[in-house]
């Protein structure tokens, strides 16, 4: 794990000046998958894996951005921001600057030094962490007021329009608003949110399958299109519907014959998943871990069978977890096609859980999984440099 002081050394070595330091977390989603872009409900938590950004102003209207992870520096003029090649890491920070300017924010040029701890491509939102950390850094240096909800939306816009991934608002929002020891229930239509306290005797255990299937991003956009297709057809009968969030399961079932089996299944996932988020929040409030476990399991099944975004390795990781003592519930988390599972595990059982899951997964796949423990963490913040603590 980095400290602001280590980051400042890196900044000083490259740019030769002092800097301010910001960090923004990745996230794990407890339940509510592929619901955010359907105006639905999600229940993510920010995790203690951060993207860090050190920043200092420049006078020439340029952004000079160095990534420690990629060991590369890019330079761009604020007046002519355009995406670099497809999948280039710098499109995230450049896209954020572009979106902030589109929104009329007066940005100054800046030197930025970025380092990320969120595992890349693991479905833990390393991209949202970069976007939010850089947005905070750029805005703070420009003395512009920060409205976190607006900032989350601008980071999403950067990813949608500059990077070209049609993601929803969940990741950027929780990276801005996360709270220690809590999950965040977000209504992705109104952006109203509330915190849900996580039980003290449970831990969030994140199991990385170490695979990322290539089709991930294309299939993500394809799922969105199928949801939109479902809405388009259902609106013929129910004109008041704006998104799948407005559709009841009985309405979908009554009009099954108008939809292809695939579009029907996609819609059924979203509608039932929204209901599961609400039930999960109630189960958290009641301390009903049995129901919680069932809901996580049903979510995984629905993502596997109806939404078809799981894969062999994720299914196996969940299956292995379910056979372990102390497991409350397990499911894939994030966009899918590889990446991680989220496991709610009784604290006393965590060390054995880790060991047994890693051994069983390795023996069945030949892959060595990474298993992370993380408490729910705080959202983006500026760091006080002397003490390695959030600045007040
Ligand atoms: C990715 C996207 C999110 C969300 C999830 C699936 O993480 O960035 O907006 O759609 O997939 O729930």
Summarised one tens digit per residue, pLDDT across range 118-146 is 998 899 999 999 999 999 999 987 877 78
**CA atoms of 311 and 30, how far apart (whole Å):** 18
Res 86: pLDDT:
81
Please choose from 127, 167, 336 the residue to mutate so as to test ligand 1's pocket, defined by most ligand atoms within 8 A of CB: 167
CA of 329 to the centre of ligand 1 (A): 20
Domain made up of 4-198+377-383: CATH architecture: 2-Layer Sandwich (3.30)
Closest residue CA from atom 8 of ligand 1: 167
3-state secondary structure the chain: CCCHHHHHHHHHHHHCCCCEEEEEEEEEECCCCCCHHHCCEECEEEEEEEEEEEEEEECCCEEEEEECCCCEEEEEECCCCCCCCCCCCCHHHHHHHHHHHHCCCCCCEEEEEEEECCCCCCCCCHHHHHHHHHHHHHHHHCCCCCCHHHHHHHHHHHHHHHHCCCCCCHHHHHHHHCCCCEEEEEECCCCCEEEEECCCCEEEEEEEEEEECCCHHHHHHHHHHHHHHHHHHHHHHCCCCCCHHHCCHHHHHHCHHHCCHHHHHHHHHHHHHHHHHHHHHHHHHHCCHHHHHHHHHHHHHHHHHCCCCCCHHHHHHHHHHHCCCCEEEEEECCCCCEEEEEEEEEHHHHHHHHHHHHHHHHHHHCCCCEEEECCECCCCEEEECCCCEECC
| Residue 189, C-beta contacts closer than 8 angstroms, at least 6 positions apart | 39, 40, 243, 245
Res 140: pLDDT:
85
CA of 154 to the centre of ligand 1 (A): 16
Where in the chain are the domains? 4-198+377-383, 202-373
Res 6: pLDDT:
85
User: Average pLDDT over the chain, rounded to whole?
Assistant: 95
283 pLDDT band, cuts 50/70/90, is very high
| Order of strands across the sheet that contains 338-346 | 327-332, 338-346, 202-212, 370-373
Task: Say if residue 221's pLDDT is above 80.
Answer: yes
Catalytic residue (choose from 9, 36, 39, 171): 171
Task: Say if residue 384's pLDDT is above 90.
Answer: no
Mean pLDDT, range 87-101, rounded to an integer: 97
**CB under 6 Å to ligand 1: residues?**
33-34, 36-37, 125, 167-168, 170-171, 334-335
User: What's the pTM?
Assistant: 0.96
Q: Is 387 exposed, middle or buried (0-12, 13-18, 19+ CB in 10 A)?
A: exposed
171 a catalytic residue: yes
Mean pLDDT, range 279-285, rounded to an integer: 98
CA of 345 to the centre of ligand 1 (A): 23
Please choose from 131, 170, 228, 244 the residue to mutate so as to test ligand 1's pocket, defined by most ligand atoms within 8 A of CB: 170
Model pLDDT for residues 56-65, shown as the tens digit of each residue? 999 999 999 9
**CA atoms of 53 and 30, how far apart (whole Å):** 27
Model pLDDT for residues 4-48, shown as the tens digit of each residue? 788 999 999 999 999 999 999 999 999 999 999 999 999 999 999
Model pLDDT for residues 229-247, shown as the tens digit of each residue? 999 999 999 999 999 999 9
Task: Say if residue 387's pLDDT is above 60.
Answer: no
386 pLDDT band, cuts 50/70/90, is low
Q: Give the number of the atom of ligand 1 that is nearest the alpha carbon of residue 335.
A: 11
Res 213: pLDDT:
80
Model pLDDT for residues 318-376, shown as the tens digit of each residue? 999 999 999 999 999 999 999 999 999 999 999 999 999 999 999 999 999 999 999 99
% of the chain beyond a pLDDT of 70: 97
User: Can you identify the CATH homologous superfamily of domain 202-373?
Assistant: GHMP kinase, C-terminal domain (3.30.70.890)
Task: Say if residue 154's pLDDT is above 90.
Answer: yes
Least confident of 105-109, 214-218, 362-366: 214-218
Res 216: pLDDT:
67
**CA atoms of 133 and 113, how far apart (whole Å):** 11
CA of 363 to the centre of ligand 1 (A): 30
Check if the beta carbon of residue 175 is closer than 8 Å to that of residue 128: yes
Res 119: pLDDT:
92
Check if the beta carbon of residue 26 is closer than 8 Å to that of residue 133: no
**CA atoms of 377 and 236, how far apart (whole Å):** 44
Res 389: pLDDT:
58
């Amino acid at each position: 794990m980095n400290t602001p002081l280590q980051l400042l050394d890196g900044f000083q070595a490259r740019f030769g000046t002092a800097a301010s330091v910001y960090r923004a977390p990745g996230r794990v989603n407890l339940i509510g998958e592929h619901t955010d872009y359907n105006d639905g409900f999600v229940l993510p938590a920010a995790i203690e894996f951060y993207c860090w950004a050190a920043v200092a102003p420049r006078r020439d209207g340029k952004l000079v951005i160095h990534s420690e992870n990629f060991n590369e520096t890019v330079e761009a003029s604020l007046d002519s921001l355009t995406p670099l090649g497809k999948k280039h890491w710098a499109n995230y920070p450049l896209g954020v600057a572009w979106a902030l300017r589109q929104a009329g924010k007066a940005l100054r040029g800046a030197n930025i030094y970025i380092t990320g701890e969120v595992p890349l491509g693991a479905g833990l939102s390393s991209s949202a962490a970069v976007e939010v950390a850089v947005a905070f850094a750029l805005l703070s240096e420009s003395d512009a007021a920060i409205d976190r909800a607006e900032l989350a939306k601008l980071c999403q816009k950067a990813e949608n329009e500059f990077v070209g991934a049609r993601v929803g608002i969940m990741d950027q929002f929780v990276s801005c608003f996360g709270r220690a020891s809590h999950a965040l229930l977000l209504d992705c239509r109104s952006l109203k949110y509330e915190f849900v306290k996580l039980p003290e005797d449970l831990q969030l255990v994140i199991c990385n399958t170490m695979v990322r299937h290539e089709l991930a991003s294309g299939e993500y956009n394809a799922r969105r299109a199928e949801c939109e297709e479902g809405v388009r057809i259902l609106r013929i009968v129910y004109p008041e519907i704006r998104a799948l969030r407005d559709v009841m399961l009985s309405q979908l079932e009554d009009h099954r014959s108008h939809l292809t089996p695939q579009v029907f299944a996609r819609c059924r996932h979203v509608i039932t998943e929204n209901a599961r988020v609400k039930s999960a929040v109630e189960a958290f409030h009641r301390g009903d871990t049995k129901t919680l476990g069932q809901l996580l399991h049903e979510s995984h099944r629905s993502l596997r069978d109806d939404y078809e975004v799981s894969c062999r390795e994720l299914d196996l990781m969940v299956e292995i977890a379910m056979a372990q003592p102390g497991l409350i519930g397990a499911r894939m988390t994030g966009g899918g096609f590889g990446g991680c599972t989220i496991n709610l595990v009784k604290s006393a059982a965590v060390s054995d859980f880790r060991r047994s899951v890693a051994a069983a997964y390795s023996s069945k796949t030949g892959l060595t999984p990474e298993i992370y423990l993380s408490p729910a963490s705080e959202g983006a913040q500026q760091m006080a440099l002397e003490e390695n603590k959030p600045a007040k």
